[in-house]
Structure 1
Amino acid sequence: MMTSSYAGKRWVLTLGFLAAAHGASPALAADPMPRLAETTCTVLDQAVQAQAAGPLLLASYPPLAGQQPEILALRGVAFTYDNALASIALFACGKAQSARRIADALAYATVHDPEYQDGRLRNAYAAGPLKSGPIPLPGYWSTQRNAWNQDAYQISSATGNQAWGALALLEAYRQTREAPYLEAARRVLRWTEQNTYDSQPPEGFIGGYYGYPPQQTRQGWKSTEHNADLAAAWTALDQLVPDEHSARQAKIARQFVFSQWDAREGRFLIGTLDDGRTPERVRSGLDAQIWPLIALQDPPADWQRVFSFIDQAHRAGSGYGFKRNPDGLWTEGTAQTAAVARLRGSPEKAQPLWPVLAAQQAADGWLFATPEARISTGLAIGPDSVIDDFFYYHLPHLGATAWAAIAAIGINPFTGSQEAN
């Protein structure tokens, strides 16, 4: 059930869109934000409604004009993070039925993994409606190898993806008060606590586990972004069901994020190196810079200086790129920046980004991950990568579309409807 303030926000956006469409307000018609909210909410809801009833996960890279992505490893893949965002966005859009179908699939995944019975989520699953039995993992048939291929990252379990799955499940619980969502979130967070906590300074949570079962590789580096995600998830759990243990886990993750603030440069370090101790001072990620401002409660005012840093280090044309000195616009990150600016009381910083985001929409309403053929994040997908091979491509993207909806509506995805109560 939506809160009244949520519903009010959505009706304001809908009326604004209709007024612009009929020429009733030239000033409003010139503002792409209301239309962006309406079109992204519509395309997300339609993507869910177009499939058979029941729990489902959406493809992170939907077809464009009926054509699947050229990259085989991205076809029919439902990344957990993207789907968690989509569920949170759909609740904000007032599309609770569609939001719940994705949350139901995430809850199902915590108890129907084909190999593990410990509550973890995989980084990705096969897109589509779920059937009974083990949840299907992504993969594709390689004619070159004459064998079934699975991407090592996609079937792994990164810490940040656990946190986002939990955040989506906790938002579903806020909206419905149905216990299975709460219990699923607890399972995910319990796995993360038991398997990724590292007590060596700076105390925090490592990157997760990578590779094919049963010999997965422990990723010992600690990420500012992952710990910010966990701080938000544990805090949300503690606020819904107050518990000293949850508060303690949130404090650990929160303190790690604080430890990564570089006051001299006015920015966050991206985290540590593989040893879990040594600071990584060279690379930068846009999400690690701005998410702490909305993921953590009562962030220090000094953290606002990060906007100056990203303007200097992450600018890509009229928007922002993923890495320092980016090689192109990252649509999702540009939407993230608009969302954070709005939520932190700087709408003037968000205003120039709405037309940038609107320009990334395909004819069917999905936003492209980037207008470039390919952009680099400066990061490697996994420990077996020989180069920094984590890229975004000029493809319609669920994550970018969900973030654009979240930003245009003005909801905090880390706290969801909590802030609207």
Structure 2
Amino acid sequence: MSNDGHPMKGHRFVAWLIAAGIIAASPALADTPTGAARELATKTCAVLAARVDEIPGSGPVFLRSYDSSFGQGPTAEPALANAAFTYDNALAAIALTACGHRAHAQRIGEALLSAVNLDRAGTKGRLRNTYRAGAQTQRPIPPMGWWDVVASRWFEDPYQVGTATGNVAWAALALLTLSEVTGKTRFRDGAAVLAEWTVQHTRDGQGPDGFTGGVHGYDDAPQVLTWKSTEHNTDLVAVFDWLDRAGAPGDWSHQAKAARAFLDAVWDEASGHFFVGTTPDGVTVNRAVSSLDVQLWPLLLHGALERWQRSLTYAEGAHAVDGGFDFNDDRDGLWVEGTAQAALAFRAVGRATDADRLLAEVAKELSPSGYIWATRQPSISTGLAIGPSSATDDFRYYRRPHLGATAWAAMAALSWNPFTGQRLQPVRVRTTGSK
């Protein structure tokens, strides 16, 4: 653990978890190798379960994405103080399943499923990017918002009440994971509703076939996001393939081929890496930005091509920093979540030593609150914008204790592939063709 992480506080926290019997309740840890991976899995699984248990009862919950009392950056601002990002909570549900805490995972899954079945706009299948943390007792479940005492009115954030395609896909993956382990088809059917929303609202055949970014902004003035993201289309390949394997009604293999065709279109054979997506015209490939996750996640898919493994070499050249990887290629700091993702990708292609090295670095980033820090440095850039009205690349990560980073750390430590819902075996590769 780094000096900023207060190692003695971290050890005391783990000691409390052992005394409380939380760590012992993680049967998945029995198969985890000893060393940094096992210790990391133990700690992250424990804190995720403890955070669910902090919310009384056994009903649906969303977890807060950031601990506002620790770290750097504007975590105390109203838009973040009680924000439960859909992506982070989907990751938490998957990680808790990997940890063996199925009842905890299901509480988050029930909240996602309730949000799927009825949005405040009266639609079925639309998820908002962010909800309010805590027990979810209202119907429909309201998206994130806050009362401003000075202005004496209710505020909402245009990104948080929007719907990003990738967030919808990750929620679907969480529901499919729960369907797999519980045998309850209502979770699978909820995932199918989400997938159908993406087909109806984001499918775009112009230029590279695939799916666009989603919807941004308030309900009375929504903006359609017309760019296409390699990350989003990777997520959807996993969702559509899984729905097809699970026997969900619908022609999901056809949709999987469309999303997969986009990956083929943005793969650059000359440099051995994936471009981040397209510009807002949905056609022109965006070559201006490099993103770590789009080099990693395709390697976790069923039917990943052997030549795609070259993207790891590209990432090592373009994104590597001391201890791990940066989000983009300016290499201004360590992105802990992405470093955990890289560990999982290395494990997938058989580079176990590299995976273990990265997990040892991630294990240093346990915060006093129990969550993993989002960054090692005070702040890092991404090269991306928060929304279409942003004048600069204003999306940054700060050194805050982060639910998403914690969930990725748990999955990587447990060698859990969120795209398949199984412990990771070296991904089967194909040398020719595409799905």
Deviation string, structure 1 residues 109-167 (Cα, Å, up to 9, x no partner): 01232124131111111111111422021122335544322111011001101110100
> What is the CA deviation profile of residues 349-395 of structure 1, one whole-angstrom value per residue up to 9, with x for unaligned ones?
21221221011111332101012221111100110111111111111
- Paired residue type of 1:307: L
The correspondence of residues 7-156 of structure 1 with structure 2, limited to 5 A, is 10-13=29-32, 28=34, 31-53=35-57, 54-64=59-69, 69-143=75-149, 145-156=151-162
More moved, 36-45 vs 212-221: 212-221
Q: Which residue of 1 aligns with 2:242?
A: 236
Unaligned runs of 5+ in 2: 1-25, 426-435
How much does 1:36 deviate?
Answer: 0.2
Distance in 1 (CA, whole Å) between partners of 2:71 and 2:302 is 43
Aligned CA-pair RMSD? 1.9
Which one of 404, 407, 411 corresponds to residue 402 of structure 1? 407
The alignment partner of 2:417 has SS state of coil
Count of residue correspondences: 398
1:324 aligns with 2:329: yes
Q: CA deviation at 1:12?
A: 2.9
1:155–1:211 CA contact under 8 A, matched in 2: yes
Relative to the length of structure 2, the TM-score reads 0.88
Quote the residue 1:261 is aligned against: 267
- The one-letter amino acid of 2:263's match is V
Distance in 1 of aligned mates of 2:366 and 2:219: 38
SS of aligned partner of 1:208: strand
Q: Tell me by how many angstroms 1:261 deviates.
A: 0.6
C-alpha distance in structure 2 between counterparts of 1:242 and 1:52, whole Å: 34
Give the Cα separation in 1 of the matches to 2:419 and 2:86.
15
Deviations, residues 180-210 of structure 1 (Å, cap 9, x unaligned): 2122111111111000000112111000111
Query: Within 2, Cα distance between the matches of 1:273 and 1:12?
Result: 44
Matching residue of 2:392: 387
Give me the whole-angstrom Cα distance separating, in 2, the residues matched to 1:118 and 1:91.
Answer: 26
SS of equivalent residue, structure 2 residue 147: strand
Asked if the contact 1:315–1:325 (Cα under 8 Å) also holds between the matched residues in 2, the reply is no
The 3 A distance-change label for structure 1 pair 314 and 144 is farther
Partner residue, 1:186: 192
Q: Which residue of 2 aligns with 1:270?
A: 276
Rounded Cα–Cα distance in structure 2 between residues aligned with 1:247 and 1:96:
29
For the 8 Å contact 1:90–1:99, the answer to whether it is kept is yes
| Cα deviation digits, residues 4-49 of structure 1 (max 9, x gap) | xxx9753133xx6xxxxxxxxxxx5xx3211000000000000001
Instruction: Indicate the residue corresponding to 1:158 in structure 2.
Output: 164
Distance 1:242 1:351, change over 3 A: same
Task: Check conservation: 1:207, 1:220, Cα contact below 8 A.
Answer: yes
Deviates more, 1:113-122 or 1:222-231: 113-122
SS in 1 for 2:84: strand
SS in 1 for 2:390: coil
The answer for the alignment partner of 1:25 in structure 2 is none
Aligned partners of 1:99, 1:35: CA distance in 2, in Å?
Answer: 21
Give the aligned partner of residue 222 of structure 2. Answer: 216
Q: Which residue of 2 aligns with 1:413?
A: 418
- Residue 350 (str. 1) matches residue 355 (str. 2): yes
Q: Give secondary structure in 2 for the equivalent of 1:207.
A: strand
* Counterpart position of 2:17: none
- Report if aligned partners of 1:64, 1:396 keep a CA contact under 8 Å in 2: no
Following TM superposition, by how much is the alpha carbon of 1:419 offset from its aligned partner in structure 2, in angstroms? Answer: 6.3
User: What is the alpha-carbon distance in structure 2 between the residues aligned to residue 154 and residue 244 of structure 1?
Assistant: 30
- Per the alignment, in what secondary structure is the counterpart of residue 110 of structure 1? helix
% of aligned pairs identical?
A: 44
Q: Distance in 2 between matches of 1:349 and 1:11?
A: 22
Q: Which residue of 1 aligns with 2:383?
A: 378
* Amino acid in the other structure paired with 2:36: P
Q: Which amino acid counterpart does residue 401 of structure 2 have in structure 1?
A: P
Distance 2:198 2:242 in 1: 15
Is the Cα contact below 8 Å between 2:70 and 2:401 reproduced in 1?
no
Matched, 1:171 2:177: yes
Contact 1:174 1:417 in 2 (8 A): no
Over 3 Å counting, the alpha-carbon distance change for 1:338 and 1:300 in structure 2 is same
> SS where residue 194 of structure 1 aligns?
helix
SS in 2 for 1:349: helix
Give SS of 2:252's match: helix
Q: Which moved more, 1:272-281 or 1:305-314?
A: 305-314
Letter in 2 for 1:38: T
Question: 2:305 maps to what in 1?
Answer: 300
1:82 deviates by 0.6
Does the C-alpha gap of structure 1 residues 210 and 65 become closer, same or farther in structure 2, counting only changes over 3 Å? closer
Aligned residue identity for 1:230: L
Per the TM alignment, residue 173 of structure 1 is displaced from its structure 2 partner at its CA by: 0.6
Q: State the match for 1:4 in structure 2.
A: none
TM-score by length of 1: 0.91
Letter matched to residue 65 of structure 2: S
